[in-house]
């Protein structure tokens, strides 16, 4: 009987620890988890253009020709090719993902579009594997809320940014119940600030020009 009770206690403590690891230690937000490559078609669904207005989003960021940018959680490249066209042949895009299958699809799409300024990077759940002090802008589109180790990722992204570099998050508005997305896939401005500011970032601008998403622009805290 005692052994059974001990086993139950161990299982309960393990479940508690797993639940604790699934929430941000500062905000208490539940992590959403990563979409698998089997869901890649959803990333390129036709209605996404009207739901998220990706071209408008990139235009609002004022990315310069020749810039070096990183698309973290790039998936099959929905935003990557837009970034590659924006920075031009003299610029560069690091397309990061943790799933080899997604990156394989992305490379095929870049070849089809004849874009030569994209380098794919296989990262890990806690490290995007980007070069230090090299990136003008890091873009996270509907991605940050999926990080299982957001604090570690933010620290390594900060290392990769140039001193005047920008970190940009696009996240569905958690403040708006009318946005038809599961709660764990949305974030409020307050949640994002609470999680990023302790990791050495400051808000530069928050743009609300998109139909359903915040555009949150951060710079490194001096």
Q: Which residues contact 74 (CB under 8 A, 6 or more apart)?
A: 80, 95, 96, 97, 102, 103, 106, 120
Residue with tokens 């999680």: 195
DSSP secondary structure letter of residue 181 = S
Mean pLDDT, residues 91-117 = 98
Which CATH superfamily groups domain 31-220?
Vaccinia Virus protein VP39 (3.40.50.150)
Q: Which of 26-35, 172-181, 192-201, 210-219 is predicted with the least confidence, judged by mean pLDDT?
A: 26-35
Mean pLDDT, residues 132-147 = 98
Q: What is the mean pLDDT of the chain?
A: 90
Residue 104 has pLDDT above 90, yes or no: yes
Q: What is the pLDDT of residue 8?
A: 31
DSSP secondary structure letter of residue 29 = P
- Residue ranges per domain, the chain? 31-220
Q: Going by DSSP bridges, is the β-strand pair 161-173/201-207 parallel, antiparallel, or unpaired?
A: unpaired
The CA distance from 170 to 71, in Å, is 12
Residue 17 has pLDDT above 70, yes or no: no
Q: Going by DSSP bridges, is the β-strand pair 213-220/161-173 parallel, antiparallel, or unpaired?
A: antiparallel
Residue 132 has pLDDT above 60, yes or no: yes
Q: What is the pLDDT of residue 201?
A: 98
Alpha helices in the chain (DSSP H): 2-21, 40-43, 48-52, 54-61, 80-87, 100-113, 150-160, 189-196
Strand partners, 211: none
Q: What is the pLDDT of residue 44?
A: 81
Within 10 Å of residue 171's Cβ, how many Cβ atoms?
Answer: 24
pTM for the structure as a whole: 0.88
Evaluate whether 79 touches 93 at the Cβ level (below 8 Å): no
pLDDT digits (tens, 9 = 90+) for 32-91: 988 777 777 868 888 999 999 999 999 999 999 999 999 999 999 999 999 999 999 999
Q: Which of 195, 208, 186, 190 is nearest to 167 (CA)?
A: 195
Residue 1 has pLDDT above 90, yes or no: no
Mean pLDDT, residues 155-183 = 97
């Amino acid at each position: 009987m005692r052994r059974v009770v001990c086993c139950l206690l161990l299982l309960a403590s393990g479940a508690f620890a797993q639940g604790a690891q699934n929430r941000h230690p500062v905000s208490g937000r539940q992590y959403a988890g990563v979409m698998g490559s089997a869901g890649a078609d959803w990333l390129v669904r036709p209605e996404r253009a009207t739901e998220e207005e990706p071209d408008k989003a990139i235009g609002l960021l004022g990315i310069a020709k020749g810039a070096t940018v990183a698309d973290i959680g790039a998936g099959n490249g929905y935003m990557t090719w837009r970034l590659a066209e924006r920075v031009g042949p003299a610029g560069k895009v690091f397309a990061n993902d943790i799933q080899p299958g997604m990156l394989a699809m992305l490379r095929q799409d870049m070849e089809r579009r004849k874009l030569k300024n994209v380098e794919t990077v296989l990262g890990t759940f806690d490290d995007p594997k980007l070069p230090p002090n090299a990136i003008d802008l890091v873009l996270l589109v509907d991605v940050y809320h999926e990080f299982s180790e957001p604090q570690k990722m933010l620290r390594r992204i900060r290392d990769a940014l140039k001193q005047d570099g920008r970190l940009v998050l696009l996240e569905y508005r958690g403040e708006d119940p009318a946005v038809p997305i599961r709660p764990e896939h949305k974030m409020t401005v307050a949640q994002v600030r609470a999680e990023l500011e302790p990791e050495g970032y400051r808000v530069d601008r928050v743009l609300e020009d998109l139909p359903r998403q915040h555009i949150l622009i951060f710079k490194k805290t001096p």
